[in-house]
């Protein structure tokens, strides 16, 4: 795939200048001859696009700080993509992303793809696909895990075939094999690198062996919820939002260095490793219709037994010019299936609440959330998160 025209859209002038400047220097240093520009004009950015890649954060790190701290006062997990914080972010985000997708359908080239990186990816992609948009969701969890396993096995990570299955930020790797071989490598990995995998997943090695699977890091928020909340409740605990805000200030300063033509080392601490590689591969496959296998977020269409056809899932897919087609998966054991059924019901209610602006819809979503699920706690949290996000929720507070 050849990119002729690249436009970066950002309403913040400081970010546009710093990120745009570094981006263009990196591209030119690598010999790219295309047209590059930055803009705050959404309509101009979307005009004639073939791909629209979206990563945004309504309310910035300040809103994320609330997502990560407000729930802790109620004895719940503080996290920006799951639990109460994830719902708050979805309420802020879904309407904006849907508006962008609607404008994309009007202004982009026919057949343009809308690629969503914006968290919570599963909920946002569900909203996009429910509305009939030509959209695919993408997360870096699968490609990061594949590269870690390749490192441990001492092989090219691209030769590691993983059976990655579940919902966004609620997934397990149930198999790892080297391409061309039928030998299952997970037991060997648990034996040789158990402490490392336990640390990276946040889940005890006993559970990895019990389930014969490697969960994503986000699963530990479900399996060890109380321990995580206790840690977040310790006086002086710093939220990830605070850490990232400081890092972003440092990175923006580095980006302005006119001699910098590579990604600065500090960027590796920002999170999102291998996102760019995953995005480029996905867009290349959608453009060329190669039919290769990637892990993305798309309609289930029967791939994971026990979930609705129209549920957005995150698993292996065949990617061609018509989109991502989920590949059939082995039936999940009850403890995995039950949890993702529970979480998917919450995600669908979260989409409804974000679209409707209904306070009762928020309460229902929190009641269905596996990390909340109690009353009157759900009602108290609904009122607290709506009040804290009032300025970012026009559907809930018209005219405010």
C-alpha span between 64 and 67 (Å, rounded): 5
Give the closest residue to 147 by CA, choosing from 210, 219, 200. Answer: 200
Q: Is the peptide bond before 120 cis (omega within 30 degrees of 0)?
A: yes
Residue 373 pLDDT:
97
- For the chain, the residue count is 400
Residue 272 pLDDT:
67
Per-residue pLDDT of the chain (400 residues), as tens digits, is 789 999 999 999 999 999 999 999 999 999 999 999 999 999 999 999 999 999 999 999 999 999 999 999 999 999 999 999 999 999 999 999 999 999 999 999 999 999 999 999 999 999 999 999 999 999 999 999 999 999 999 999 999 999 999 999 999 999 999 999 999 999 999 999 999 999 999 999 999 999 999 999 999 999 999 999 999 999 999 999 999 999 999 999 999 999 999 988 888 777 767 888 999 999 999 999 999 999 999 999 999 999 999 999 999 999 999 999 999 999 999 999 999 999 999 999 999 999 999 999 999 999 999 999 999 999 999 999 999 999 999 999 998 6
How far is residue 272 CA from its own chain's centroid?
9
Residue 234 CB neighbours (<10 A): 7
pTM: 0.96
Tokens 């602006």 belong to residue: 357
Among candidate residues 218, 221, 255, 346, the one labeled active-site is 218
Residue 168 CB neighbours (<10 A): 28
- To the query of whether residue 218 is one of the catalytic residues in this protein, the response is yes
């Amino acid at each position: 795939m050849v990119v002729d025209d690249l436009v970066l859209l950002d309403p913040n002038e400081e970010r546009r200048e710093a990120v745009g400047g570094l981006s263009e220097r990196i591209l030119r240093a690598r010999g790219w001859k295309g047209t590059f520009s930055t803009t705050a004009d959404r309509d101009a950015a979307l005009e004639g696009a073939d791909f629209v890649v979206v990563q945004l954060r309504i309310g910035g790190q300040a809103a994320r700080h609330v997502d990560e701290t407000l729930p802790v006062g109620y004895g719940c997990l503080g996290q920006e993509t799951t639990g109460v914080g994830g719902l708050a972010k979805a309420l802020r985000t879904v309407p904006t992303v849907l508006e962008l997708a609607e404008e994309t359908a009007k202004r982009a080239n026919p057949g343009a793809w809308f690629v969503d990186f914006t968290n919570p990816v599963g909920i946002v992609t569900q909203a996009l696909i429910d509305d009939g948009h030509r959209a695919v969701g993408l997360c870096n969890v699968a490609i990061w895990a594949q590269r870690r396993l390749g490192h441990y096995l001492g092989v090219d990570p691209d030769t590691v075939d993983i059976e990655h299955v579940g919902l966004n930020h609620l997934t397990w790797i149930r198999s790892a094999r080297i391409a061309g071989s039928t030998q299952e490598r997970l037991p060997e990995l648990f034996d040789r690198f158990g402490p490392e995998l336990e640390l990276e997943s946040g889940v005890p090695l006993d559970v990895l062996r019990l389930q014969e699977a490697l969960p994503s890091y986000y699963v530990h928020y479900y399996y060890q919820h109380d321990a995580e909340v206790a840690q977040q409740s310790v006086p002086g605990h710093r939220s990830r939002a605070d850490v990232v805000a400081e890092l972003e200030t440092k990175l923006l300063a580095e980006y302005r260095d006119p001699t910098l033509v590579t990604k600065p080392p500090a960027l590796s601490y920002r999170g999102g490793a291998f996102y760019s590689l995953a995005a480029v591969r996905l867009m290349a496959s959608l453009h060329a219709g190669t039919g290769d296998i990637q892990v993305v977020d798309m309609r289930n269409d029967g791939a994971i037994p026990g979930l609705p056809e129209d549920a957005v899932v995150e698993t292996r897919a065949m990617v061609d010019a018509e989109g991502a087609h989920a590949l059939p998966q082995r039936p999940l054991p009850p403890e995995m299936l039950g949890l993702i059924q529970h979480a998917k019901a919450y995600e669908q209610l979260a989409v409804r609440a974000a679209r409707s602006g209904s306070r009762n819809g928020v309460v229902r979503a929190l009641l269905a959330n596996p990390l909340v699920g109690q009353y009157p706690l759900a009602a108290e949290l609904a009122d607290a998160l709506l009040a804290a996000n009032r300025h970012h929720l026009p559907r809930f507070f018209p005219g405010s």
